[in-house]
Amino acid sequence: MMMQPNVHYAELKDSYLFAGIAKKTQKYLEEHPGQRLYRMGIGDVSQPLCPAVIAALHAAVEEQAAPGSFHGYMPECGAPFLREAIAAHYAERGVDLSPDEVFVSSGASDELGDLQDIFARETAALVIEPAYPAYVDACVIAGREIVHLASGPENGFLPAPPQDARAGMLYLCSPNNPTGAVFSRAQLQEWVDYANDTGAVILFDAAYEAYIEDDLLPHSIFELEGARTCAIEISSLSKTAGFTGTRLGYTVIPKELERKGLNVNSLWVRNRTTKTNGVSYVLQRGGAAVFTPEGQAQIRAQIAVYKQNAKVLTDALRRCEIWYTGGSNAPYIWLKCPDGSDSWGFFERLLREIQVVGTPGEGFGSCGEGFFRFSTFADPQDTAEAARRLIALLGNSTN
């Protein structure tokens, strides 16, 4: 029989947003040999793994070298030592989890796609836009209907739940990628209540929670009343501890989460035991080091570097009188393209005139048109130079 490909791939944009940007910047470099770029586009970290993590990785490699301490297959849902360390980390914030409600993953983006498996194809997904494009692309590939909920400056990029109950799968991201907006407790409670009332399940992307400065803002959806019966939280060490290339994340699925008599935590155990052989022992040891007092102090120092980058960039935007939001409780700055420019036009202008790379807002959904995103994860010297170039280019801009 002729193989039938998944025709939904044809419904995707030509290339994934960040792959498309990488292609455009590569082409620019080929046409302009010797030019140097200041990359504030994809949120890839510039600071190396912290010493506590490196020491734990080395020690784990040594263990793998000796017959008595060698580890083969790891438990598919995560090593007990790491699941316990993550649960203890939540407990410090007043969120009680049992370690078997924590699943160790190879990163939030992998997990956000894989979790599609536990939702029936007929379940529509609600995506608040502008949105991290992987949510939309994963749904398109799965052939799932998408309900696009546009947000904008009028609601601080934090819309309230819709009036209807068309979607049974709700993607929420707070602190938000790309806008940097963060749900208050009251706003997030509205979504939790809505999900419990309608039977929907929230996929709460908490990858940027470590950037929250304001004590009143929730880091985890499980800080909210009723979330244990309607939410899954997906998190990552990528931006918290520099694991973008090392890959390690975690997902929390409470035992109370059930739909149609099926327990979602059990479904995910069944899925993981079938589809993965777990994350490597070495990486999980490195991940566990993040949750030690030493690791926490060291990652805080790294996050402070990115927060200083945010200050440098937002100071520049203020000098240029460019409207922006984000950058304080989140590592992304979301700005209005000056002079009425569209977002890809502004991308080209920054690339060609000052060699600064950002991400066009339109890539996060059509309501992102006219906006632009800077990541604050670049090297501090590059960030300072990008800020200097922005001021030189746009210092007299009228917006």
The span of 41-49, 143-151, 267-275, 341-349 binding ligand MLT (CB under 6 A) equals: 41-49
Pick the closer one to ligand MLT by CB: 132 or 306: 132
The span of 36-44, 59-67, 288-296, 346-354 binding ligand MLT (CB under 6 A) equals: 36-44
DSSP per-residue letters across 279-347: S-HHHHHHHHHHTSHHHHHHHHHHHHHHHHHHHHHHHHHHHTT--EEESSSSSEEEEEPGGG--HHHHH
Pick the closer one to ligand MLT by CB: 13 or 185: 13
Pick the closer one to ligand MLT by CB: 174 or 177: 177
Quick note: the x/- pattern for ligand MLT over 65-104, rule CB under 6 A, is: ----------------------------------------
- Least separation in angstroms between CB 129 and ligand MLT: 14
Residue from the set 109, 240, 284, 376 that interacts with ligand MLT by CB under 6 A: 109
Residue from the set 24, 25, 29, 42 that interacts with ligand MLT by CB under 6 A: 42
Task: Note whether 222 and 95 are within 8 A (CB).
Answer: yes
Pick the closer one to ligand MLT by CB: 116 or 123: 116
Strand order in the sheet with 324-326: 324-326, 332-336, 371-375, 359-360
Quick note: the x/- pattern for ligand MLT over 356-375, rule CB under 6 A, is: -------------------x
The count of chain residues that interact with ligand MLT, using the rule CB under 6 A, is 8
Pick the closer one to ligand MLT by CB: 171 or 281: 171
**Cα–Cα separations (whole angstroms), residue 130 to 104, 135, 290:** 28, 11, 31
Could you tell me which of 1, 9, 18, 222 has the C-alpha nearest to residue 133?
A: 18
Q: How many Cα atoms sit within 13 Å of 279 on the Cβ side? A: 26
Residue from the set 106, 123, 176, 177 that interacts with ligand MLT by CB under 6 A: 177
Pick the closer one to ligand MLT by CB: 43 or 287: 43
DSSP per-residue letters across 241-269: HS-TTT--EEEE--TT-EETTEEHHHHHH
Considering all CA atoms of the chain, what is the largest pairwise distance in Å, rounded to the nearest integer?
68
Return the residues of window 206-265 that contact ligand MLT according to CB under 6 A: 238
The span of 39-47, 122-130, 263-271, 383-391 binding ligand MLT (CB under 6 A) equals: 39-47
DSSP per-residue letters across 57-108: HHHHHHHHTSTTT---SPPTT--HHHHHHHHHHHHHTT----GGGEEEES-H
Of all residues in the shown chain, the one whose CB is closest to ligand MLT is 43
Return the residues of window 127-166 that contact ligand MLT according to CB under 6 A: 132
Q: Is 43 in the site for ligand MLT (CB under 6 A)?
A: yes
Task: Note whether 130 and 367 are within 8 A (CB).
Answer: yes
**Orientation angle between helical segments 293-319 and 380-394, nearest 10 degrees:** 10
Name every residue whose Cβ is closer than 8 Å to that of residue 352 and which is 6 or more positions away in sequence.
28
- Least separation in angstroms between CB 292 and ligand MLT: 25
Pick the closer one to ligand MLT by CB: 42 or 269: 42
Q: How many Cα atoms sit within 13 Å of 93 on the Cβ side? A: 18
- Point out which residues bind ligand MLT (CB under 6 A): 42-44, 109, 132, 177, 238, 375
